A and B are shown apart, each in its own frame.
Chain A
Amino acid sequence: MAIKTQGDEPGRGSDDAVRFGRRVDSSDNRVRMTEAVVVIELRKNYGAVEAVRGVTFEIARGECFGLLGPNGAGKTTTIEILEGLLHPTSGQARVLGRRWGADDDEIRERLGVCLQQTVLSPKLEVHETVELFRSFYRAGRAPADMIAEVGLTEKAHARVGALSGGQRQRLAVACALIGDPELLFLDEPTTGLDPQSRRQVWDIVNEFKSRGRTALLTTHYMDEAERLCDRVAVIDHGRIIAQGSPDELIHSLGGDHVVEISVGDNGSSRLDAGRLTDLPAVRAVHQEVGVWSLAVTEPHVAIPALLDHLRDDSHELLRLTTRHASLEDVFVALTGRHLRDE
């Protein structure tokens, strides 16, 4: 892989740690009040397995932050430590200016939590489930309003067991929002849902964001992260390998566009990554199972040059597509793998 960006600098994670460390060391009240979540050098081991290996990030109030990574990257472990459900092996996690172990009741009053794949009691009705969760909180929303907001009014008297997957997930989100939380944790909120259901969940999260609340979500869908998150941390093998807004991360590829080509085997020479990288407006080149992906700043400059290059070496062009770069491309550029490779 030839790439002209800083994306895979090995020291990037620890640079962040230094930067955040400095800000938090001066931990005055101003920092505490503005940050909804502060995580410093968080580690979690399960026996010999290091699930989280020194994760550092912070989430400002009113921000929607995404942990983007493949399955097993350490996303769920990280979010469950922040939810107060797991104890870290080492490192710090502050939530709403408080620390787990000291102010647990107070933090829980102000948190909304949607775990990965919770099965709510199938024998209870939708409104009974929401009312049950409402009873746990000091203050909160009216259950009927909450049910309406997630679009389940018609199903209010249906048993949970009779709901579709998408409806169940919206109910789970309603249970997370019923205490009117300041901070919402969503662990893989749309995994396994159909496109329409995913969009409905996104609408609910966007509505929550629009009221100035803070959210942390984990996902392995790049489109979800792009659509919902103000900032994203790309996490892989328990480490954060890149962090920034979706636009920043895509820019870091060096080109906002991706041109993909595949060619026949009959050229006078094999295509060469170095020579493709030298083409004008091409910033990075990546090859995978016969498809060459070029990160490109200006497609109208790069494509004619590319076509000239193919004609000169008499390569047969089998396919050419061009699209806007995505976080998926960022992940591929950083790790050489796709988000959903298992």
Chain B
Amino acid sequence: MSDPRAMRRRDAFLALIFARWREIYREPEVVTWSIVFPVVLSIALSIAFRNRPAETATVAVVAALENERITRILRNTPGIEVRVVEDAVAAAHALRMGMAAVVVVKDADGVVYRLDPTRPEALLARSRVDDALQRSAGREDPLPTREESVSEAGARYIDFLIPGIIGMNIMGGGMWGVGYHLVDMRIKRLLKRLMATPLRRGDFMLAQMIVRVVFVFAEVGFILTFARLLFGVPVRGSIIAIMFVSGLGGLCFAGLGVLTASRAMTIEKATGLMNVTQMPMFVGSGIFFSAERFPAVIQPFIQALPLTALNDALRSVILEGSGLISQAHEIALLASWGLVSFVLGLRYFRWD
């Protein structure tokens, strides 16, 4: 770079990048929204959708000589808790108060299950008790079956959630961190002031995008580290692949931010536009639940959204350790969205 003009351009470019970086890290709200908010959200959701231990069915049995065998069998059956009560009145009370799901009574004809069939746990308890009693009475099941419980790391709700939260943050950061910032600069006439200097418009925009991508790297690194330490979320893909997908997502949504910010002259208008743009992706792109839940008719629309592609690619790379080649479709979709919106945004951008 011996050409003084090129050197000056580079200096201006670096100065803009540093200035924007300083603005970002000196803004307490930025830390709140990009670091604290996703962490709190994932903790809250992981509590709400935690994997519960298998439920135990509580069964009441009246203390009587003829019930002793039943009590013994049920006590030895996993998943059943036996509550021995004094008499039929106490048994009815336990049933009414929800302290027992089923009352088991032996009479001359066999065994009676007393229960409220509208309560799901009553039906569960009845079925378990019945199984246990029938088997001990000699029933043979004609079809052998067995259970395998799935709760390994990588297949839990929190594992599904974390890449979605990262995608959501990349979207919000691009739209607000770039789009809102540009509108704010326009309102404060700072854009106009910069345009009165020899600074090139393209250089200015590129600096905004680059700072955004660097910030995405920091954000993603933090959330993944946190998710791994606190929830044991597995990070199976290569760091390079994860950062490539995240960085591309950052550029894509920074481009959408430029487009939504290109004309707005008031914060209200900009905020409205950004919310309208983000809303379909917020609901449809599989942040909190799989995008597959939507009917087939609207799937083409949902699959064309950039956040759907970003979330899918992040989940594959982070949870399944997929390489970038397998994500070519998602990568192409993100790149196209980013490029088209950036070019259009710049084309119609209002600098004054």
**With A86-B352, A115-B189, A138-B4 already in contact, 12 other A-B pairs whose C-beta atoms are closer than 8 Å:** A115-B193, A118-B189, A121-B19, A123-B22, A123-B26, A124-B22, A133-B197, A135-B8, A136-B198, A137-B8, A137-B198, A179-B197
Q: Is the CB of B189 within 8 A of A83?
A: no
CB-CB nearest 8 A-B residue pairs: A119-B188, A135-B15, A113-B196, A136-B197, A108-B198, A123-B26, A135-B12, A123-B23
B26 CB contacts on chain A under 8 angstroms:
123, 159
Residues of the A chain whose Cβ atoms lie less than 8 Å from the Cβ of B23? 121, 123-124
Q: Is A132 an interface residue (CB 8 A)?
A: yes
Task: Compute how far the CA of A179 lies from the CA of B194 in the bound complex, rounded to whole angstroms.
Answer: 13
**What's the Cα separation between A86 and B189 when bound, in Å?**
14
Give B189's nearest chain A residue, CB to CB.
A118
> Which of A85, A136, A179 counts the most chain B CB atoms within 10 A?
A136
> Known contacts being A117-B189, A120-B190, A128-B22, is A85 close to B198, with CB within 8 Å?
no
* CB neighbours of A105 from chain B (8 A): 198
Report A98 CB to chain B, min CB distance, Å.
14
Given contacts A132-B16, A136-B12, A119 and B198 within 8 Å (CB-CB): no
* A116 nearest in chain B by CB position: B189
A interface footprint on B26-58 (CB within 8 Å = 1, 0 otherwise):
110000000000000000000000000000000
User: Could you list 5 examples of A-B contacts with CB < 8 Å?
Assistant: A85-B195, A120-B190, A123-B27, A124-B23, A136-B194
What residues on B are CB-neighbors of A121 within 8 Å? 19, 23, 190
Complex CA distance for A86 and B16, rounded to whole angstroms: 25
* Partner among B14, B16, B22, B352 whose Cβ is within 8 Å of the Cβ of A85: B352
Q: Which of B12, B19, B192 contacts A124 (CB 8 A)?
A: B19
By a CB distance below 8 angstroms, the chain B residues around A175 are 193
- Asked if B87 CB lies within 8 Å of chain A CBs, one says no
Q: Which residues of B contact A (CB under 8 A)?
A: 4-5, 8, 11-12, 14-16, 19, 22-23, 26-27, 188-190, 192-199, 352
Complex CA gap A159/B27 in Å reads 12
Count, chain A residues at interface, CB 8 A: 29
- Which chain A residues in 64-90 approach chain B with CB under 8 Å? 83-86
Determine the chain A residues whose CB is within 8 A of the CB of B16 once the complex forms. 132, 135
Taking CB atoms, residues of chain B closer than 8 Å to A8 are none
Interface residues of A in 125-170 (CB under 8 A from B): 128, 131-133, 135-138, 159
Q: How far is the CB of A79 from chain B (nearest CB, A)?
A: 11
Q: What are the residues of chain B within 8 A of A179 when measuring CB–CB?
A: 197-198
Q: Is the CB of A115 within 8 A of B199?
A: no
* Residues of B contacting A83 in the complex (Cβ-Cβ under 8 angstroms): 196
A58 within 8 A of B: no
Are B19 and A128 touching (Cβ within 8 A)? Answer: yes
Give the residues in chain A near B5, CB-CB below 8 Å: 138
- The reply to whether A108 and B196 contact each other, CB–CB distance below 8 Å, is yes
Residue of A whose beta carbon sits closest to that of B27: A123
- Knowing A123-B27, A135-B11 are in contact, say whether A111-B22 is a contact too (CB < 8 A): no
The one of B19, B189, B197 in contact with A137, judged by C-beta atoms closer than 8 angstroms, is B197
A83 to B11, CA, bound (A): 24
Could you tell me the distance in whole angstroms from the C-beta of B190 to the nearest C-beta in chain A? Answer: 6
Residues of A within 8 A of B (CB): 83-86, 105, 108-109, 111, 113, 115-121, 123-124, 128, 131-133, 135-138, 159, 175, 179
> Complex Cα distance A103/B23, Å?
33
A residues less than 8 Å from B195 (CB atoms): 85
Contact of A108 with B190 in the complex, beta carbons under 8 Å = no
Complex interface: chain A residues within 8 A of B15 (CB): 131-132, 135
CB nearest neighbor in B for A131 = B15
Distance between B211 CB and nearest chain A CB, rounded to angstroms: 13
Q: What distance in Å separates the Cβ of A240 from its nearest Cβ neighbour in chain B?
A: 24
CA distance A109 to B9 in the complex (A): 13
Asked whether A118 and B197 contact (CB < 8 A) given A135-B11, A135-B15, the answer is no
Chain A residues positioned under 8 Å from B190 (CB to CB): 118-121
Given contacts A108-B198, A128-B22, A137-B198, A115 and B192 within 8 Å (CB-CB)? yes
Distance of A118 Cα from B14 Cα, bound (Å):
23
Smallest CB-CB separation from B7: which chain A residue? A138
Q: Determine the residue in chain B with the shortest Cβ distance to A114.
A: B193
B197 cross-chain contacts in A, Cβ below 8 A: 108, 113, 133, 136-137, 179
B19 to chain A minimum Cβ distance, whole angstroms, is: 5
User: Is A85 touching B188 in the complex (CB atoms < 8 A)?
Assistant: no
**B247 CB to nearest A CB, Å:** 25
Assess the B198–A118 pair: CB atoms within 8 A.
no
Known A133-B197, A137-B197; judge A85-B19 contact (CB<8 A). no
| Cα–Cα distance between A77 and B310 once the two chains are bound (Å) | 46
- B40 to A: closest C-beta gap in Å: 25
CB closest residue in chain A, given B8: A138
Closest beta carbon of chain A to B170's beta carbon, Å: 23
Task: Report yes or no: B19 in contact with A118, Cβ–Cβ below 8 A.
Answer: no
Inside 8 A of B19's CB, which chain A residues have their CB? 121, 124, 128, 132
The answer for the CA separation of A105 and B199 in the assembled complex, in Å, is: 9
Please report the C-alpha to C-alpha distance between residue A124 and residue B24 in the assembled complex, in whole angstroms: 10
Chain A residues whose C-beta falls within 8 Å of the C-beta of B4 in the assembled complex: 138
Are the CB atoms of B196 and A109 closer together than 8 Å?
no
Interchain CB contact under 8 A, A118 and B193: yes
Given contacts A85-B352, A124-B23, A132-B15, contact A138 B189 (CB under 8 A): no
A121–B189 alpha-carbon span in the complex (Å) = 11
By beta carbon, the residue of chain B nearest A117 is B189
Bound complex: CA A108 to CA B16 (Å): 18
For residue A192, give the distance in angstroms from its CB to the closest CB of chain B.
Answer: 15
Alpha-carbon gap, A159 to B188, bound state (A)? 17
> What residue of chain A has the Cβ atom nearest to residue B197's Cβ?
A136
What chain B residues lie within 8 Å of A133 (beta carbons)?
Answer: 197
Task: Kindly provide the distance from the CB of B254 to the nearest chain A CB, expressed in whole angstroms.
Answer: 19
- Cα A284 to Cα B185 in complex, Å, equals 50
State A159–B23 Cα separation when bound (angstroms): 11
Question: Which B residues touch A84, using CB under 8 A?
Answer: 196
The answer on a CB contact under 8 Å between B352 and A109 is no
Partner of A119, one of B27, B189, B194, B196: B189
What is the bound-complex CA distance between A132 and B5, given in angstroms?
17
In this complex, what residue of A is CB-closest to B198?
Answer: A108
| A131 vs B195: C-alpha distance when bound (angstroms) | 17
A118 touches B188 (CB 8 A): yes
